[in-house]
Structure 1
């Protein structure tokens, strides 16, 4: 009965808002033993995604990469690795556990698990601590927090073994919070189709030559996967004004693309995170508009040879906003 009550409460909560903050896992395998593209059928990936309470909506592929658009974010598969992101009320760690159990640790070279602070962390089914306790049953690892505890921050767990990541293995994240009213109103227009959103974000120009796969959610929300050879980019948008959140992740340099996205979205705050971008500070100084002020800056070498850099920026406000009137009966999650 207690679990039923909790389930009903969580269902009620998620009918009122959607948690855009994502959990993320990357698993690198020994491609000499198995190819994730050639040796595993799509049914395997369907089962893996179901483990975290998500489902596959569509797929695009080329010779080097499969990209699955999910009901909660994305899954990318290459011959030697996978990258999965899930948002909402998912438990991504269960998908990681499924992968470990099915393939065995002898085929896995490195596991990285990441989770950022949520808008409504208390509504999640687990915490970062819960997740890495589960992973600890299979791998020894280290965990770090990037960012201030009372602000935007990321938790990163990585397997602590002899594996060394290539310095050429670069990835980037650009997270935008509280997008401007114009962008929020556009992206919450009833009946908006994928072509209109791509035009608004100018994605056909920015991603020329990429294979694109996108989806518009009900009532609002947008996801797109883009692949070109081994390159990928994915965007997930929760546009509602009271909890707007845009996640852009790629292995192409998002710092150099930041001015384009910031001009369109004009968020009040952004996070930048990169793995192995040695010129992170120089690029951020060059490309992040001067109107944004750095609030926190963290950098750490991991034992797997990765250099992780994280920065949070805010756009100082020059005028007062009105306090939000809360529905004290229907918004108990926000009180």
Structure 2
């Protein structure tokens, strides 16, 4: 497997120079040498089922109309920084110092790890949706999802993330129709928390806006959360790069420069070496290799809303990796089971869980296929749990596996 050179990478960026920006100041001195909370907090705020269902008086670009500086101010409240951004017609994909953010016209996905205070950014997010994108302040979002795996170091979290009870209480202050769930075995390493809302379709605001809920949209998201990574495979996500003496020159350069810093160059090399570049070869990937270890990547497909994101904490005492994607089988030409097998093969975890959200009635439903107790199988693993929820127009499937 041949790793790309810096020249190759810059040529690739030149072809998309209007949609790639590197923040050298934030990325040049990123260090991950201490014990780290890999499991992420994940927030999705939907203003409508799709961009075509947004109120007509809103900005045509919806949330994409919000300037990058405003998002960076919001992320300051979360305690993370933007490292770089790639974009498509349908979304902007932000690679962060602690995971990722995806901004679509009709929704925002924010995923942060460590001791970030993700929910502290929620009020600012809703304010930007109103003041910049034009979403009515007196209308709750169409849907909101907040989820996370159980933390490895829960005592290190900050308000409002000190406990699931505190997180639910905080969310209930902002949304009137939320439900909270704990999914999986509470006495195991893999259980999962979910907060989900659905706006009452009969509610009309003073501005006479009613966001349509008619089941026209299709949505599916696959998430794989892995712990106890195989040491040999985890070693791929260490590096020995040193910050060059010329780092100060990079730090003072424009954050919109297409020139890559060592973290991004190393990220591209890791992407190729570990095999992630072959999973969705039709995608563009923005990745970063942290020093002395750790890895993050966002992948996007041009002219579409499809994305995937990967984050790795390889230290033996807290090893963790996550994978999330909304790339459908019709695009990838792979079943969800094939994707799961490929990703798990990269990391070799001792345990992992899978969550699959899909709109009800999807073809080749993951909920139906996963019900077969004899298979499909993940080679080298035994399935421990299969839990299915019906959440309004969605099916949620939770699966847990351990290594044989």
Shift of 1:271: 0.7
1:324 alignment partner in structure 2: none
Local SS of the residue matching 2:174:
coil
Match of 2:396 in 1: 308
Match of 2:47 in 1: 29
Q: Partners in 1 of 2:321 and 2:125 — Cα distance?
A: 28
Q: What residue number does 2:356 align with? A: 274
2:70 is matched with 44
Deviation track 1:235-289 (CA, whole Å, cap 9, x = no partner) reads: 0000111111110001025532122222232111111001017323525865542
Which residue of 379, 385, 394 maps to 1:296?
385
Tell me the equivalent position of 1:157: 195
Does structure 2 retain, via aligned residues, the 8 Å contact 1:173–1:248? Answer: yes
- 2 CA distance for matches of 1:160 and 1:107? 9
Q: Secondary structure at the match of 1:19?
A: coil
Tell me which of the two structures has the higher relative contact order, counting C-alpha pairs closer than 8 angstroms and 6 or more residues apart.
2
Match of 1:129 in 2: 165
Q: Find the counterpart in structure 1 of residue 153 from structure 2.
A: 120
Q: Distance in 2 between matches of 1:38 and 1:67?
A: 11
Count residues with an aligned counterpart: 302
Q: 2:240 aligns with which of 190, 196, 211?
A: 190
RMSD over aligned Cα, in angstroms?
Answer: 2.2
5 Å-filtered alignment, 1:244-255, equals 244-252=319-327, 254-255=336-337
Distance 1:262 1:143 in 2: 29
Higher gyration radius (CA): 2
Per mean C-alpha deviation after superposition, the further-off stretch among 220-229 and 43-52 is 43-52
- Indicate if the aligned counterparts of 1:258 and 1:288 stay in contact, CA closer than 8 A: no
Q: What are the superposed Cα offsets for residues 137-194 of structure 1, whole Å, 9 maximum, x if unpaired?
A: 1212111111111121111111143355666211010112111121122322423922
CA contact (8 A) 2:384 2:401 kept: yes
- In the other structure, the counterpart of 1:18 is 36
Pairing partner for 1:144 from 160, 163, 181: 181
- Seen in structure 2, the aligned counterparts of structure 1 residues 40 and 150 have a Cα distance that, compared at 3 Å, is same
- For residues 200 and 99 of structure 1, do their structure 2 counterparts lie closer, same or farther at Cα, with a shift above 3 Å needed? same
The normalised TM-score by structure 2 is 0.70
Distance 2:116 2:200 in 1: 31
* Cross-structure match for 1:328: none
- Cα distance per residue 1:179-226 (max 9 Å; x no partner): 112112232242392233112321222221212111111221100001
C-alpha spacing 1:183/1:40, structure 2 compared with 1 (3 Å): same
* CA displacement at 1:290 relative to structure 2: 4.0
TM-score by length of 1: 0.84
| C-alpha distance in structure 1 between counterparts of 2:88 and 2:371, whole Å | 32
Instruction: Tell me, yes or no, if the aligned pair for 2:90 and 2:104 is still in contact at 8 Å.
Output: yes
- Measured in 1, the distance between the counterparts of 2:371 and 2:223 equals 13
1:112 CA drift (Å): 1.0
Q: 27-36 or 259-268, which moves further after superposition? A: 27-36
Q: Which of 259, 270, 273 is 2:341 aligned to?
A: 259
